[in-house]
Structure 1
Amino acid sequence: MPGGHGGGWRAHVLSQPWPMAHTRTHAVMLRLAVRDRDLTEVLGQLVRLAVAGPGSAAGKYPDGNTGRTRDGLTTPMPILDDLAALVRGCWQGLGPAQRVGQVSPALRRARHVPACGVV
């Protein structure tokens, strides 16, 4: 993450359209916040952990957001060029409803999206 936690924020940006992956990313971010004894981040990640899955399933997530508490829960952010290319690759072959996070039940059961490797 910018300012810490390596590529965790990059994983968050890529995981946003998929409820399980998005939720798992916040679980990892919560563990890192606990490890770092960052109470503000722990509390923020608890909230995000509760809303990540439903938000992704409903297509209601801020594109490019790093998932960190300091960035705001609903603040969209620019997606870095290399991540934007991956996101475009992930969305190839998905219908319009799926592009906003409403992934098909079959894809949810598979627990990953082969086009981009989100697990």
Structure 2
Amino acid sequence: MKLNVLMPTNFKIAYRKEIQNYKDSLSQNNELAAWRYLERAHIIGQYYPVPHTGSHFRMFLFGIRKGDLKEIYGQFIRMVFGWIGSLFNRIPVGNTGSASVPIFAPMPIPDDLRSLLHNADTEAKGLSGFKE
């Protein structure tokens, strides 16, 4: 079994772009756009433990900023356990990472991210990850 440890360069570039867009939107007080960029960062980063946890940590801080107890609690749980699924390639493909969606539910990958995530197992009904 191959462990997902090191994020490839093309994933790093895409992930960092979404994080920068998140920061830019937040600095412009556009919280709706900021949240969407965090969700996109999660979709990209969830395959690798460190960026996966990083996206949940940012969502956790966003929940604190908004005073959203459901999001704070949901992100805390995801920060503690999510990295394990990433490491072993057992993640809900396409899941946005929000506490408002089921933690293990696969979701459609946005059209513009499909080429990056071309090896994602979108046929699985539960936890999957990259096709082997």
- Fold shared by both chains (TM-score > 0.5): yes
State the distance in 2 between where 1:89 and 1:65 align: 15
Counterpart in 2 of 1:116?
A: none
Gap runs ≥5 in structure 1: 91-98, 102-119
TM-score by length of 1: 0.70
Match of 1:75, SS?
Answer: coil
In structure 2, the residue matched to 1:84 is: 114
Aligned to 1:75: 105
**Alignment-mate amino acid for residue 73 of structure 2:** L
Q: Which residue of 2 aligns with 1:117?
A: none
Q: Counterparts of 1:50 and 1:7 in 2: how far apart (Å)?
A: 22
**Seq. identity, %:** 34
Contact preservation (8 Å) 2:74, 2:99: yes
Identify the residue that residue 6 of structure 1 maps to in structure 2: 36
Aligned counterpart, 1:52:
82
What is the aligned counterpart of 1:62 among 92, 96, 100? 92
Q: Which residue of 1 aligns with 2:67?
A: 37
**SS of the counterpart of 1:70?**
coil
Inter-partner Cα distance in structure 1 for 2:36 and 2:109: 16
Q: Which residue type is aligned with residue 32 of structure 1?
A: F
Larger RCO, structures 1/2 (Cα 8 Å, 6+ apart): 1
**Structure 2 CA distance for aligned equivalents of residues 7 and 89 of structure 1:** 22
Q: Secondary structure at the match of 1:6?
A: helix
The one-letter code sitting in structure 1 at the alignment partner of 2:36 is G
Question: For the Cα contact (< 8 Å) 2:119–2:130, is it kept in 1?
Answer: no
Partner of 1:17: 47
Offset, 1:89: 8.3
Give the C-alpha shift of residue 22 in structure 1: 0.4
Residues 71 and 39 of structure 1, relative CA distance in 2, 3 Å threshold: same
Give me the CA root mean square deviation: 2.5
Q: Distance in 1 between matches of 2:68 and 2:57?
A: 15
CA–CA separation in structure 2 for the residues paired with 1:46 and 1:38 = 12
